[in-house]
Amino acid sequence: MVFPVSPVKKVLVPWLVPWLVGGMVLPAAPPVFLRHPQPSAVPFAHTAVLSAETAFDPSLRWEWRKNGVVIPGADSAVLLIHNAMEPDTAEYHAVALTDSGLRWSDPAAIIVLPEETAPGRVDPAFTDAGLDGPVTALAAWGNGSVIAAGEFFNARGPATVPRLIRIRPDGFPDLDFRAGRPGPGGPVHGLAVAGGAFYVAGAFSVFDGAAASCLVRIRVDGTRDVLFQPDLPPGVEDVRVLAPLPDGRIYVGGRSRQGGVVSDWLVRLTADGARDNTFVSPPFLNGRVRALALRPDGKMWVAGNFFRPTGSTTHFNRVVLLTSSGTVEPTFKPPAGANSGANLEIRCLQSLPDGSCVVGGYFSRFNNMIRYGLAKVRADGSLDDVFNPPVLDDGVLALALDGADRLYAGGDFSLAGTVPVRSVARLDVVSGSPDMAWRPPMCNGPVASLLPTPAGLVAGGSFSSPHQAAVRLMVEPGPGGPGGAVAGLPLTWTARLFQRSQSLAASNGPVTLPDQGAVTFPLVVSNAELVSGIRLWLDLRHPDVQNLKLELLPPSGLGPALLLTDGTALRHGANFFRTCFSMQSPRSFSQAAAPYTDTLRPDADLSVLHGLSAPGTWNLRITDQRADARQAVLLSATLEIIHAAAEPNFAAWLGNRPAAAGDFASFSFAGVPGQSPNVSLLAPPFRLSHQAWPSDGDDAFQYWTSTDLVQWQAVNPLSRFSSHTPGGTRVSVVLPPGSAARRFWRVEAKRRP
């Protein structure tokens, strides 16, 4: 059969740089992989990440292939697949190219899990903006757009957006917004929209190249409003909180430093930035102001890290209700004593229609009652004991209320009691009980800002999954998804014939494990081929993983339980975040620290199973070895068994190969005139036909074979024939079959130097 070689193929297989060894021409060494891309299962609409690393070479270039086909524009060591959908389920290779040759990585399968239908799922219509740093503040802008600010500098595509960006309703960066402007010269901590402008606050002294004292106002066209000159206290160091009023005035809270003296303050400015002296800054602010929440009656909740000042008999521990003039609301009378209010810092507030307020932060007690991270305080300063939320295993950094009066809390927590809430919780605003139908993604970093919009809940923070720093979650149930088991991986012909196959078995949570108990999770493998490698991927949450013991139990008859890791090998700390147990890793658990997010070597030698047939039920056994009232939650476990490559029937493949078989037949040609040459590959002995220059002689080319695209061997043709036509010379050669059919899975013709 005769088929053309793709022009792309010529680019992908670079010319070998020859060198002489004993008078024989051999190719120079191709790049060596230090780290191969790793397979993963990716939730629907999340971001899939593959990365690879090779030894340094100044001529190094990268490409990535999906099912053997080059991915346009993927030319770095990291491949990001934003908003992964079902068609992204495939096998991927990294290809490292240098002037000395090329090398393919091991295959890495990405499996996109079925689409979620529960509220909290990632909105696939909101793509990943690809921000390269944390988002600390969000604000709604017209036409469904969102203003995001923080510590990022770049966005998806060729967008440089220093610390400030407008994101379109579809999630893409608005590249026309403030294009080319340098933005704030330091971190941004707060945003506020008022009328046709918005305010940007933070720890910066320069904005768009001009002096700015931590607060600026931006017009609707993205330019700075230079008429707004805020009259802030002297020595301003940063501005953390903003709260605009309908009449154009705005509350501003921040910190100043003069010499060695630090002062915290809260002021009100007029629309032109002048100080509104009808508002007196509260004198008791002896700690940072972290949050403001306005009530419709003009009164204002203020919270942070301040507490009763020396000599005062009134306790305003970290939260207070103020009048519009800055005085304490007379009816706000928290309980007497040092234990009133929150015992640790409050970071966020959400004012409610009945005049009360939900507070969130790092506290564990409020008005001397146990409340971990969330509490509701009434207008008189008393604790609303009806609002009794579950214990959170970390702090609350953001609060929001949607149009249906549903309360959202964001932070770095993963548990609400024993319920996995995955960085964003939805709770009943009256009782504080978690919404059991709410299933948000597990962000791999804290959520610091929440913004309800008509299209969904936008969350921003310091995470890179499911999106980078900003994601929109659907707040209502969706139509039924495909459900069921994940379809089989569509391996390429290359993978089917020339690579090792794999079996995947998964156990998906969330499943809560008992305190000081053991739970066994089944992982069913049906493939009966021989084992040549084992990897286990684990997503497990516990406040102290040193409590845990993990074992892998092979099917009956294959041997005893294999210890993955014991508490004695772990360090104090929380969580296994997508941890991979692999014998290929040079690092043990004793060389890492929690949260464990890397590929690490298990305690037991899993290679004892190599060469065995392993169909049946494997079991992952997780044991909580200590009683401390803290429970583990398994989110997912995936067992990957790599099988030894079977010897394929080359002749059978040759007769049944698809029309696109040339996609994996790697030929390269140097100095070929005109269009791509036609190459014909027949059954052994192999007959290779290609074009040449009219002046080429029979010895103008040398021929190489490879079984894996890594090791190449020069071969001499059994025979050679050239036919000369006005259009050029056609060379036909017959290559030896070798000792095994699989020896010649790749053939290259290279022009001699």
Please report, for the chain, the start and end positions of each structural domain, with discontinuous segments joined by +.
31-112, 501-643, 650-751
Length of the chain: 753
> Looking at residue 296, what DSSP letter applies?
T
Q: 557: Cβ–Cβ under 8 A, 6 or more apart, which residues? A: none
β-strand partners of 92:
66, 108
Which of 617, 597, 502 shows the shortest CA–CA distance to 557? 617
- Taking the C-alpha atoms of residue 538 and residue 549, their distance in angstroms, rounded to an integer, is 13
Question: What one-character DSSP code corresponds to residue 287?
Answer: S
Q: Count CA within 13 A, CB hemisphere, residue 398.
A: 28
Q: Which fold has domain 650-751?
A: Immunoglobulin-like (2.60.40)
State residue 143 phi and psi, 5-degree precision: 60, 30
> Tell me, what's the pLDDT at 388?
93
pLDDT at 259: 86
pLDDT in tens, 333-386: 888 777 889 999 999 999 999 999 999 999 999 998 999 999 999 999 999 999
Are 704 and 716 within 8 A, CB to CB? no
Q: How far apart are CA 46 and CA 67, in angstroms?
A: 20
Q: Provide the pLDDT confidence category of residue 312 given band limits of 50, 70 and 90.
A: low
Give the model confidence (pLDDT) of 467-476 as tens digits.
Answer: 999 999 999 9
User: What per-residue string of b and e applies to 121-141 under the rule 16 or more CB within 10 Å gives b?
Assistant: bbbbebbbbbbebbbbbbbbb
**CA 197, CA 329: separation in Å to the nearest integer?**
31
Q: Are 141 and 198 in contact (CB under 8 A)?
A: yes
Cβ atoms within 10 Å, residue 210:
11
Lowest-confidence pick of 122-126, 404-408, 557-561: 557-561
- Report in angstroms the alpha-carbon separations of 493 from 91, 388, 407, 421, 483: 11, 58, 51, 42, 28
CB-count burial class (<10 Å; 0-12, 13-18, 19+) for 675: exposed
Residue from 332, 356, 359 nearest 345 by CA: 359
State the Cα–Cα distance between residues 308 and 336, nearest whole angstrom: 11
Give the DSSP letter string of 169-232.
TTS-B-TTTTTT---BSS-EEEEEEETTEEEEEES-SEETTEE--SEEEE-TTS-B-TT----P
Q: Evaluate if residue 69 carries a pLDDT over 90.
A: no
C-alpha span between 538 and 650 (Å, rounded):
38
Q: List, in sequence order, every beta strand (DSSP E) within 612-700.
A: 616-624, 633-643, 678-680, 686-692
Residue 303's pLDDT is what? 96
Burial of 428 (0-12, 13-18, 19+ CB in 10 A): middle
Q: Which helix (H) or strand (E) holds 7?
A: helix 7-12
Of 507, 645, 615, residue with least CA distance to 554 = 615
Residues 235-240, mean pLDDT to the nearest whole number = 95
Question: How would you class 308 by CB atoms within 10 Å of its CB: exposed for 0-12, middle for 13-18, buried for 19 or more?
Answer: middle
Residue 682's H or E segment, with its range, is: none
Residue 611 burial by CB count (10 A; 0-12/13-18/19+): exposed, middle or buried?
A: exposed
Neighbours of 527 (CB within 10 A): 16
Backbone angles phi, psi at 15, to 5 degrees: -65, 140
Asked whether the beta carbons of 192 and 294 are under 8 A apart, the reply is no
pLDDT tens per residue, range 238-249 = 999 999 998 999
- Per the CB < 8 A criterion, the answer to whether 44 and 85 are in contact is yes
- 505, 526 in Cβ contact below 8 A? no
Residue 161: pLDDT above 60?
A: yes
pLDDT band at 188 (very low <50, low <70, confident <90, very high): very high
CB under 8 A, 24+ apart: contacts of 180-183: 181/208, 181/222, 182/208, 182/209, 183/207, 183/208
Burial 445-478 (b: 16+ CB within 10 A, else e): ebbbbbbbbebbbbbbbbbbbbbbbbbbbbbeee
- Residue 714: band (very low, low, confident or very high) from pLDDT cuts 50, 70, 90: confident
Quick check: do 31-112 and 650-751 share a fold?
yes
Torsion of CA 396, 402, 406, 409, to 10 degrees: -10
Among residues 574, 472, 593, which one has the least CA distance to residue 128?
472
Is residue 8 over pLDDT 60? no
Longest distance between any two alpha carbons in the chain, whole Å: 106
Closest listed residue to residue 560, CA positions, set 606, 527, 594, 526: 606
Confidence of residue 311 (pLDDT cuts 50, 70, 90): low
User: Sheet containing 424-427: which strands, arranged edge to edge?
Assistant: 396-401, 407-411, 424-427
Report the alpha-carbon distance of residue 741 to residue 746 in Å, rounded. 11
In this prediction, residue 489 carries a pLDDT of 35
Residue 741 has pLDDT above 60, yes or no: no
Q: If you average pLDDT over residues 104-121, what whole number do you get?
A: 81
Say how many CA atoms lie within 13 Å of 480 toward its Cβ.
3
* Record: fold of 501-643: Jelly Rolls (2.60.120)
Q: Can you give the pLDDT at residue 458?
A: 98
Please determine, looking at this structure, whether the domain spanning 31-112 carries the CATH number 2.60.40.10.
Answer: yes
pLDDT digits (tens, 9 = 90+) for 469-524: 999 999 998 865 333 333 333 333 333 333 445 677 777 767 888 888 888 988 88
Omega within 30 of 0 (cis) for the link into 685 = yes
What does each C-alpha distance from 234 to 256, 259, 642 come to in angstroms? 7, 11, 65
Is the pLDDT score of 393 beyond 90?
A: no
| Structural Rg of the chain based on CA atoms | 32
The pLDDT value recorded for residue 253 is 97
Percent of the chain at pLDDT > 90 equals: 39
Q: Which two tokens stand for residue 477?
A: 């149930």
